[in-house]
Structure 1
């Protein structure tokens, strides 16, 4: 299992510092959030240099804050698409094969659903063209079921995928699954998964450290994730100097991953 860390777990710190922390934890790579890259003014050259120096892989999370790819406002839609294209260009420069993009959402909660869906399908065609032009897969993220969000179940996302080719993939976010649903069932239902975001959540808060929330993160989930063979990104937002969010993730992972490893070893020898 390849485990990455989101750059937002180290908000406000240099890219070199992030690489040092991730490498020290023996993780495979970093998911670089473009908002952070722009806000902290990292250059493509320094990112390439430190990724190479620390022998780390990377994936990209496109701009998403303040954007809406299916806004009723045509100007907002167009600018959102421009921002996504800029993120795709960064992925191309860094030779990153896939970029996570948030799908559009309603402009007005619980209103104009069919119009928003038509606009999202139209924008999806443009995203598909950009994907083919740049040679970078667009990975649409399964969103949390909060007001205005539209694509919050695997079935709903699959329906959207039916309107595009395989250059459009998906990002499964464990913390976005409501607690009354089975994470494993949703994971098995979602098509074209090319990466997984993982953190815990509570009834009131999305994205808390693993083991600090209320999600069922059992061996069955870890085995299902491992079988997919895609990058798993530890998520969260932490601007502290202590990086407690990151280290809470790591502390929790030792138990389920060791359990999974033992299970795999046992299964291997049982089949000999």
Structure 2
């Protein structure tokens, strides 16, 4: 079922109960809980406490999870950094299962040097994928790898690169990040055309050559995104992933909730308009 949600990091300044209350107040259906959300990550990372708070918001179930990424790189040239990073993702997959999450999003890592990924980097990526497969074996949460913003040392920035990885690793699914795809300036539709059979999660925000992870409401890109999703038959979570530092000013809690409400209202209006036009 198509459901809208938001990354918990958009409300990163607040306690868990306030984060989830704001999401509910804004009219969203679920949350993508980024494990590095400070009120969880820096206070002991107690899974039982997180479960107890989530139990107060049963309509969010099943949630989605985002694995840790800050300071981490599972394909780092430094073996110790790579090992810690792979362990963090493997642990996050277990946490997603404990929380009965629908899907967990992971990042592919990046070349340590500011150069295009090499064969050695792809070898380290293969080792990482083996660890991901081992960690997820027998668990219910789908593991979905995300397309990255097109930087010189990034992996998985093109539709074809995503398809190649999905073909090589049949246990893996795809989190389609719309802003990252738009940032590349290529054919966004190709991401859907090549990979729609494996999409289990969508990150929704505005992306262009000069902005990324901005709100979609009021832009033509909201209609483009809903049209792409509707035409592909997508019916999973759509997670608004907005970077608050990219906004024109710092927002209060109430202002952030209003922004989210505007995003979700705009999404459903664009969605229903597209459906009506197709009839």
TM over 0.5: yes
How far apart are the structure 1 equivalents of 2:260 and 2:50?
A: 24
- Show the 5 A alignment for 1:107-256: 107-110=112-115, 113-165=118-170, 167-177=171-181, 178=183, 180-191=185-196, 192-211=198-217, 216-226=220-230, 227-238=233-244, 240-242=251-253, 244-245=255-256, 247-256=258-267
Which residue of structure 2 aligns with residue 16 of structure 1? 17
Q: 1:112 to 1:24 in 2, by over 3 A?
A: closer
Q: Which moved more, 1:92-101 or 1:49-58?
A: 49-58
Q: 1:40 to 1:200 in 2, by over 3 A?
A: farther
The count of residues paired between Structure 1 and Structure 2 equals 265
Structure 1 segments unaligned to the other structure (5+ residues): none
Please say if residues 125 and 164 of structure 1, whose CA atoms lie closer than 8 Å, have aligned partners that are also in contact. no
RMSD: 2.4
Normalised by the length of structure 2, the TM-score is: 0.85
Q: Which moved more, 1:15-24 or 1:132-141?
A: 132-141
Q: Which moved more, 1:245-254 or 1:47-56?
A: 245-254
Offset of 1:112 from its aligned partner? 5.7
Q: Deviations over 1:66-104 (max 9, x none)?
A: 111112222221111111122112112111132110002
Q: 1:217 to 1:253 in 2, by over 3 A?
A: farther
How far apart are the structure 2 equivalents of 1:249 and 1:17?
A: 14
Please say if residues 5 and 29 of structure 1, whose CA atoms lie closer than 8 Å, have aligned partners that are also in contact. yes
Offset of 1:32 from its aligned partner? 0.6
Normalised by the length of structure 1, the TM-score is: 0.87
How far apart are the structure 2 equivalents of 1:244 and 1:41?
A: 29
Offset of 1:143 from its aligned partner? 0.5
Query: Do structure 1's residue 261 and structure 2's residue 272 form an aligned pair?
Result: yes
